[in-house]
Chains A and B, each alone.
Chain A
């Protein structure tokens, strides 16, 4: 729940409000209508103005309505406080007036928009708009008084102390001038005005202090006079509300010296008259100004009166002196303690909270299934066991006895194998092989192994008889032909391998330059050698080689050229022709035309160059980030994926 209202937006006066909204309309909407405008456009122009103004008013009014607290929603203490301070009805009526104005303005806007839709001329539309804004202005001007009132309320609300009705609170009350404010000054850092006349404090003041690491608030109230509540003024009513609504410890201050101007009798009477407000609260009566006069020094009549104070259950009386700061802290601490215990008691009293915890606790008590007795099982051996007695010579022999017999702790080592349960006790200390020929012996250990082995032997015999183990004896005596074939095949395989290797070596370019094939010269001898190795007859070759030297056969174009009379040397020298055309002179018949074309191109470029514009020769990328150039992962190493 909201406790302080410091951030309510300011409420402008009705005239200011008008200025603000109309100014905004003027600024935010188009202002000029030109001669050529169509009527539909003119209508839209004015409709927009009217709508915009209405919206402006609406926004302002919603801000105001939303900013102020709804008097029915706040804590009763605040509600009563606001009622006394601002007059509840007045407050409500003012806010209602604002709200009403809002709906009225909306209605006006709606009506005139409907009329504007059918406006026939510029003039008509303009007059309609004027009428609409005029009516809105009138409505706003009628709000003059509520707005002024609300602004005042806003300012006062913002200055109200932020009192939390639900925290630990001490409320200081009493007749005027009995020393309430000076007590607050003593126990908190609050800078409250203290003056030697009645009604110095005219409103509630709050001070904060810590006790036992808990935050407390102490509320100083204006003085109360002993009269019926109807006759009380606003200042007194504030204290009454504080006492009535806050769950607190009430400190009723009394001045025994009567320096405040009120007799002890009057003060006691006031206490009794406001007693009904103390229900469900812890109350303390503080006798202030104990430096001037003590209770003992009073006459019997007054003492009797004071005793009547304690008739109310739970009321405690303490003495203090704010002037000498005597007993102040004790009073404060006592009050705090009292408040804390009271609050805890109140919490425990609430049945809902206790029930909440009780609901969560559940103790399960299982039902008996049947009448069968299921007692614990104790073996007979244990039952019959004799009680061990160390003084008995025939007592059981324990492991520790054995240990002490064999040299005591550290020397004796327990033989765990003694506990083995085997068929024959002689076997206890046997050592069993765990691994045999790379096999785990324990895997083979099986009570029926003899039978299984026998079965295996039988199977073996059967297989032997069937001839399972008769090898086909591959010694079929390979005859010579087969041997020959094998040898030949082996040779071929080897040869193929070496040939492949040689070929690879020939081709592999290990930092060597390559001689073009047609430039390699091979002698006749080499060829002859090669042919011989392959298995050809070389005789005929040798015979032919002599004749071939002088006969050089021509082929293809060379024959034609020879016929035309071109020298053979030229034919031989001709290299591979570059298969490119001269692009500079393509499409131009001669040099004169070439130069003319160049001139034309220059003139074309001149204007573009003068303007420093981009030409076709400029570097140009079609897109800012051509995908095919910039995409691709960058692995380790190369940044160039292409």
Chain B
């Protein structure tokens, strides 16, 4: 049985001047999931996360965070969240330990040992005495995660947390997120502009572009959707496209500049497409079944066909 949603949003909109940063975003984040929010720069990922964290206010629409659905209750349930939004904010002259101690006191978390525990968990136990201003970008990101983990949250909201981490750090970070999700049942909402970054960890995805939801689906469904496509090279691509629509009612295709048609519907039904190309004598030059990765699928969704495949 599917877990109830920990976050739902309905027609959430944020307008800055004439710019619609979020445009009627409706999505559901299941409890216990690792939810990947994916979109290019300016897609509205950070805006959405900032609304959840209370940094900004929505222009219209509504959202539910845990069981809270009105501004009066949001602050209560935010105590159960850990957030890193944009760059982690700390006092530059204070050490890693002092910075975390500051927030531990502020949040009323008992036990001084908690701070060292989260530093250890994020691989910063050796650097506890290092000033924030002297830390590398990767260390700063880890400290941000340590802060988010302070107080054992039920929900982690992470905005592009992998930025600045080295390859080993990225792997460690992914493993840590998986561990937290599996062992502590923490729901993780994580954003990235690189879909493949989240490919191995996310259980659910939401693809955003220009403030709009392009698609919301589970990881399995996404993999299914972008599994294969047919590449058909013909002499007269326009004629073949017309026949696809007329005879096979297929509309999900793209004509590439070199007269190749990419068909995204029914990729398993190769026979129909090949027969159509052959029997009607439109000059079939090549025919192949190709894999499409998540990145390309996203590009296809946002209609950036030139750079797609």
Partners in one complex: no
Which of B's residues lie within 8 Å of A, judged by CB?
none
